[in-house]
Structure 1
Amino acid sequence: MMATLKRMKAWNLPTHLILILVCTVMIYPIVWWLGASLKTNAEMSLPGIFPSDPQWSNYVKGWTAIPDYTFSRFFANSFIIELFSVTGSVVSASLVAFGFARVNFRYSKLWFALLMLTMMIPSQVIVIPQYVMFSDLNWINTYLPIIVPHFFGGGGFFVFLLVQFIRSIPRELDESAKIDGCTTFGIYFRIIMPLVKPALVTVAIYSFLWTWDDFFQQLLYINSVEKFTVGLALRLFMDSQSTVEWGQMLSMSLLSIIPSVIVFFLAQKQFIEGIATTGLKG
């Protein structure tokens, strides 16, 4: 027994050392980022991660650096988009996935195959047609081009993820619910949705992260500064100053990742379960 424990410890030591090394390499850029956010422009080129005199005022000054606006406005705009985008993705993707996984209708396999093919179309191909369509609808300089598509399935990846999860749930549960008088929508809402909670959390997290990091669409459709998101505000930060205060900009960019980190850590258990068990239950 003791010999076995010694062998396990001997094997775990190099493994732990490798993990520590990998974690250090991954965390270093964030540590440097934090240190740089506390520096002045003159200290940026000096050696060392942290300055001798940390400039915590960079966070205060950076918050109000853009004329007539503060980052409170930009964070609020981003959260408005996130609220509707995440809600739309979760609701519409779950409904579409339930239809493909549980409802028998004509040409269902063909439609599902076409939906999967949309995942292979480069997003650059549809930029111009989408812009022309939204322009004809007078949606330019609004959040609608960013939000509304989330209410139409949320994307092929989300539907595929949920379909695989729902198919792993025994159909006997549906039949039992029908015997008890449950409607099709009742089966979706009362039976299927509680069982696919990990997958729904996964969809919500992906939708949040992808929308929060989506700089291109926001740049394409939003023109007014008062409607800018955090990503656009960081870009405006460079244009609004004759000499860019890098410490202030880095401090605001560091704050911009905090919502994503909080969302992930609050839901990491369900997220990991949703990824690990998709298509494997049953």
Structure 2
Amino acid sequence: MIRQSTFSWGKLTIQFMCIVIGVASLYPIVWMVASSFKDSSQVFVSAHSLIPEVWNFSNYSNGWRGFAGITFGTFFTNTIIIVCTAVLGTIISCSLVAYGFARVKFKFKGFWFGTVMLTLLLPGQIVQIPQYIIFHQMGWVNTFLPLIVPSFFGSAFFVFLLMQFIRTLPYELDEAAKIDGCSRFGIFSRIILPLIKPALVTAAIFEFYWSWDNFFGALIYLGKPQLYTVSVALRLFADPSSGTDWSAMFAMATLSLIPPILVFFVFQRYIVEGISTTGLKG
């Protein structure tokens, strides 16, 4: 009886701590959503209160107007084009490379795989300047290409994720497909891809999040307002020389959270399945 009572109190304590941590993590988002309905002058004056004194729904319409005749519809469209294309490129390139490392035998395979993994240790800031010089010489600055094309050349993290998932699949499936006359690419497209769907969705979701939040890349490569993404456009609300429309900024920031949240809740079961089954077999 003593052990049962101790276990119950311990479980209750853990659940209480999880609730406290969850509330603390969600509070900034709740505060931002509440501030999007306040007058701009009252955002920080009544920062302690989550309930606005006067609900101002016009902040969303004011923020949606954007800047210089460019509405936030354009910024959202630019972001969706970049994100969807980058996700497609990541899935295609990383799945092909992962299949090659997991199933194809070739010379110096260990060396090339080690080289790919070493790129994970390379900080992104180191390659930022050389990449900008290359893209500038190619005339890609002020286009979406610098934010899209690199995704078609693979990512070490996703290659490793997908490769570990492919290794959990029995090799007998490949041999059976070969006996039936299936080519190497046929095995990849008809056998491997359908079976690694959870890992592919997991990689797509992570790439979606990272591309959606890519502020620095969009800032240095996109110099024209009509090409701005949502993350860069939100920064334009801050104007130290005159005044910042905080309410409109928070309103558009709230709208920018909707796509990532929807993606997470729709595909969350694939995230858990993809991560939990990755790395079970070395």
Q: TM-score, normalised by structure 2?
A: 0.94
Give the alignment's Cα RMSD to 1 decimal.
1.9
| Pairing of 1:150-165 with structure 2 (within 5 A) | 150-153=151-154, 155-165=155-165
What is the aligned partner in structure 1 of residue 79 from structure 2?
78
CA deviations 1:63-88 (Å, max 9, x no partner) are: 11422011000000000001110000
Q: Which residue identity lines up with residue 246 of structure 2 in the other structure?
A: W
- Answer yes or no: is 1:35 the counterpart of 2:34: yes
Shift of 1:21: 1.4
What is the aligned partner in structure 2 of residue 175 from structure 1?
175
Which is worse superposed, 18-27 or 231-240?
Answer: 231-240
Note if contact 1:141-1:221 (Cα within 8 Å) is conserved in structure 2: yes
- Answer yes or no: is 1:216 the counterpart of 2:216: yes
What is the aligned partner in structure 2 of residue 123 from structure 1?
124
What is the aligned partner in structure 2 of residue 13 from structure 1?
12
Q: Aligned residues, how many?
A: 280
- Answer yes or no: is 1:61 the counterpart of 2:59: no
Counterparts of 1:7 and 1:42, CA distance in 2: 52
- Give the secondary-structure state (helix, strand or coil) at the position aligned to 1:55: coil
Shift of 1:257: 1.4
- Give the secondary-structure state (helix, strand or coil) at the position aligned to 1:237: coil
What is the aligned partner in structure 2 of residue 93 from structure 1?
94
Counterparts of 2:10 and 2:280, CA distance in 1: 31
What is the aligned partner in structure 2 of residue 23 from structure 1?
22
Note if contact 1:82-1:208 (Cα within 8 Å) is conserved in structure 2: yes
Note if contact 2:83-2:211 (Cα within 8 Å) is conserved in structure 1: yes
Q: Which residue identity lines up with residue 132 of structure 1 in the other structure?
A: I
Note if contact 1:40-1:245 (Cα within 8 Å) is conserved in structure 2: no
Change in Cα spacing, 1:179 to 1:97, as seen in structure 2 (3 Å) is same
- Answer yes or no: is 1:274 the counterpart of 2:257: no
Shift of 1:91: 0.7
Note if contact 2:237-2:246 (Cα within 8 Å) is conserved in structure 1: no
Counterparts of 1:41 and 1:80, CA distance in 2: 32
What is the aligned partner in structure 1 of residue 103 from structure 2?
102
Q: Gaps spanning 5+ residues in structure 2: where?
A: none
- Give the secondary-structure state (helix, strand or coil) at the position aligned to 2:236: helix
- Answer yes or no: is 1:186 the counterpart of 2:186: yes
Shift of 1:50: 1.8
Counterparts of 1:98 and 1:240, CA distance in 2: 51
Q: Gaps spanning 5+ residues in structure 1: where?
A: none
Q: Which residue identity lines up with residue 106 of structure 1 in the other structure?
A: K
Counterparts of 1:68 and 1:239, CA distance in 2: 18
Shift of 1:8: 5.8
Counterparts of 2:73 and 2:106, CA distance in 1: 48
- Answer yes or no: is 1:204 the counterpart of 2:204: yes
What is the aligned partner in structure 1 of residue 150 from structure 2?
149
CA deviations 1:127-181 (Å, max 9, x no partner) are: 111111111111110010110000011x110101111111111111100110111
CA deviations 1:65-116 (Å, max 9, x no partner) are: 4220110000000000011100000011000000111111111111110000
Counterparts of 2:239 and 2:139, CA distance in 1: 28
